[in-house]
Amino acid sequence: MPHTDTVAVHAGEPTLDRKDAPITPDITVGSASGYPDLETLDAAMAEHRGYGRWGTDNHRQLEAAVAGLEANGLETRLDAVAVGSGMAAIAVALMSEMNAGDHVVAAHDCYGTTVTFLRNDLPRFGITSAIVNFQDMDAVRRAVTPQTRVLLCEMCTNPLIRVPDLEALAAIAHEAGALLVVDNTVPTPALSQPNRWGADVVIYSATKNLSGHADVIGGLVVGTPSWIEGARAFAHTFGPTLGPFDAWLTLRGIRTLAVRMARHTSNALQLARFLEGHAAVRQVNYPELEGSPYCARARKLLPGGAGALLSFELAGGKAALESMLSRLQLVRLMPSLGHVATTLSHPASTSHRGLDPAERTGAGISDGLVRCSTGLENIDDLIADFDRALT
Ligand code: PLP
């Protein structure tokens, strides 16, 4: 079995099947292919080839790479469908699986727009949801109804970086005849393989560390080949197609995913340890910190590290945060995560601004909480930047 870093470099690479074929993929920009006769046109249409909404070779290479990473070392074979954003991946996964009358049990600390989608959009199609604390297994069990088709949660939740007990959640889902769907955007398949612990479907916002350079909006849904067949058919009809250049950029990002995630993880842990020891910092959330309630679970489910994301709260609250932001030189504010450079975000103003203040407090998101997506800088420079800004 090849290692993850080897799979990341090779999975989905094009075959060298023509004279002087380039070693890196071409980008197919044509919106449709041309055919010499009815027979070849008919064969292409039957297989959903030759029309851009169904994807091109760039999509197939990306899908093979992500499915290959996700299935590496597992018995199960997996397939993937690439779509135009992480939210499109969530919509395709849920809407291809469910009918009117069905029910979702989702974690209360899912990405804010995921919660909005469950609350405001899916009910118009007759799909309802219960949004509960996924660290409380009794609450999850109580929320399941005979109509529950999906349990939905995130790995390394944004912004408190909680690690769910995937094995226990998979057991609850499977007992109810439902699927466990895991948004694995933050750790990426380089650090976490939810299928290993019982998940049925895995979702990515490729916008983040998967592509890795803050220049793509994209998403993927990963599952068994037979399940993906249904999700792909829905995506081909619904039409949230990823642009071919974005598919190409994401695959290019994946080639360095394993080395990037190793550096992101090492920087995140060292920065978390520095911040934890700083007098101006009240609380640091990072699962690999020895004092984290998620440390033992992270070591089991994320043996290669917990990824780039950490969050912290300053003792001086929002005013101290504004002062720190004005003094940082390397680190900038960005309403996203997963870039090569270290960036900060303010969840109360960005990902969770759709929640009312009481809901935000209930979800543990104070106005003084700042989320950090650690980049690839030299850790000494990064720590020096925060040290300067905090004193
Ligand atoms: N899932 C997670 C964990 C996210 O953080 C985000 C966006 O921040 C999304 C999904 C949605 O991704 P996109 O913005 O690509 O639609």
Q: What distance, in Å, lies between the first and last C-alpha atoms of the chain?
A: 49
Q: Is the confidence at residue 192, as pLDDT, over 90?
A: yes
Lowest mean pLDDT among 303-307, 341-345, 359-363, 383-387: 359-363
- 63 and 79 in a single domain? The answer is yes
Number of domains the chain is built from? 2
Give the rounded percent of residues in the chain with a pLDDT score beyond 90.
89
Give the rounded percent of residues in the chain with a pLDDT score beyond 70.
100
The 3-class SS string of 34-45 reads CCCCHHHHHHHH
Using alpha carbons, select from 245, 299, 300 the residue that is nearest to residue 59: 245
Final residue belonging to a domain, choices 201, 236, 254? 254
**Cβ(286) – ligand 1 distance below 6 Å:** no
- 181 and 322 in a single domain? The answer is no
- pLDDT tens sequence across 323-344: 999 999 999 999 999 999 999 9
**Cβ(82) – ligand 1 distance below 6 Å:** no
What's the pLDDT score for residue 9? Answer: 94
Q: Is the confidence at residue 362, as pLDDT, over 80?
A: no
**Cβ(183) – ligand 1 distance below 6 Å:** yes
Distance from the CA of 21 to the center of ligand 1, in angstroms?
35
Residues 155 and 182: beta-carbon distance below 8 Å: yes
- 196 and 289 in a single domain? The answer is no
What is residue 313's three-state secondary structure?
A: strand
What's the pLDDT score for residue 117? Answer: 97
Rg (CA), the chain: 21
pLDDT, mean over the chain:
96
345 sits in which H/E element:
strand 343-345
79 sits in which H/E element:
strand 79-83
Q: Is the confidence at residue 16, as pLDDT, over 90?
A: no
What's the pLDDT score for residue 191? Answer: 98
Distance from the CA of 338 to the center of ligand 1, in angstroms?
11
Q: Is the confidence at residue 363, as pLDDT, over 80?
A: no
Question: Measuring from atom 4 of ligand 1, which residue has the nearest CA?
Answer: 111
Q: Is the confidence at residue 77, as pLDDT, over 90?
A: yes
53 catalytic? Reply is yes
What's the pLDDT score for residue 172? Answer: 98
Q: Quick one: average pLDDT of 234-239?
A: 97
111 catalytic? Reply is yes
Final residue belonging to a domain, choices 254, 286, 320? 254
Our mutation pick for probing the ligand 1 site, out of 85, 87, 204, counting the most ligand atoms within 8 A of Cβ, is 87
**Cβ(368) – ligand 1 distance below 6 Å:** no
- Burial code (b: 16+ CB inside 10 Å, e: under 16) for 205-228 equals bbbbbbbbbbebbbbbbbbeeebb
What's the pLDDT score for residue 355? Answer: 75
Q: How far apart are CA 118 and CA 91, in angstroms?
A: 10
Place of tokens 């109509």: 147
- 224 and 368 in a single domain? The answer is no
- 241 and 316 in a single domain? The answer is no
- pLDDT tens sequence across 247-263: 999 999 999 999 999 99
**Cβ(86) – ligand 1 distance below 6 Å:** yes
Strand ranges across the sheet with 309-314: 281-285, 309-314, 369-373, 343-345, 332-333
Q: How many CB atoms lie within 10 A of CB 104?
A: 24
Provide the CATH number for the domain around residue 285.
3.90.1150.10
Distance from the CA of 347 to the center of ligand 1, in angstroms?
13
Which token pair is 113? 């727009």
- 283 and 345 in a single domain? The answer is yes
**Cβ(250) – ligand 1 distance below 6 Å:** no
What's the pLDDT score for residue 79? Answer: 98
**Cβ(373) – ligand 1 distance below 6 Å:** no
pTM above 0.95, yes or no: yes
Which residues make Cβ contacts (< 8 Å) with residue 53, sequence separation at least 6?
236, 239, 241
- 348 and 310 in a single domain? The answer is yes
- 214 and 293 in a single domain? The answer is no
Final residue belonging to a domain, choices 254, 289, 321? 254
Q: How far apart are CA 236 and CA 249, in angstroms?
A: 21
Q: Which of 79, 102, 109, 111 is catalytic?
A: 111
Q: Rounded to 5 degrees, what are φ and ψ at 159?
A: -110, 10
What is residue 362's three-state secondary structure?
A: helix
Distance from the CA of 337 to the center of ligand 1, in angstroms?
9
Type of residue at 114: T
| DSSP character at residue 184 | -
Provide the CATH number for the domain around residue 86.
3.40.640.10
- 234 and 339 in a single domain? The answer is no
109 catalytic? Reply is no
294 catalytic? Reply is no
**Cβ(345) – ligand 1 distance below 6 Å:** no
**Cβ(185) – ligand 1 distance below 6 Å:** yes
**Domain interval for residue 55:** 4-254
What's the pLDDT score for residue 367? Answer: 85
For the CA of 185, the closest atom of ligand 1 is 3
Q: Quick one: average pLDDT of 34-63?
A: 97
- 15 and 38 in a single domain? The answer is yes
Distance from the CA of 237 to the center of ligand 1, in angstroms?
22
Q: Quick one: average pLDDT of 52-69?
A: 97
- 274 and 237 in a single domain? The answer is no
For the CA of 217, the closest atom of ligand 1 is 15
Q: How many CB atoms lie within 10 A of CB 20?
A: 5
Q: Rounded to 5 degrees, what are φ and ψ at 106?
A: -125, 155
What's the pLDDT score for residue 56? Answer: 96
Residues 57 and 17: beta-carbon distance below 8 Å: no
What's the pLDDT score for residue 391? Answer: 81
- 261 and 249 in a single domain? The answer is no
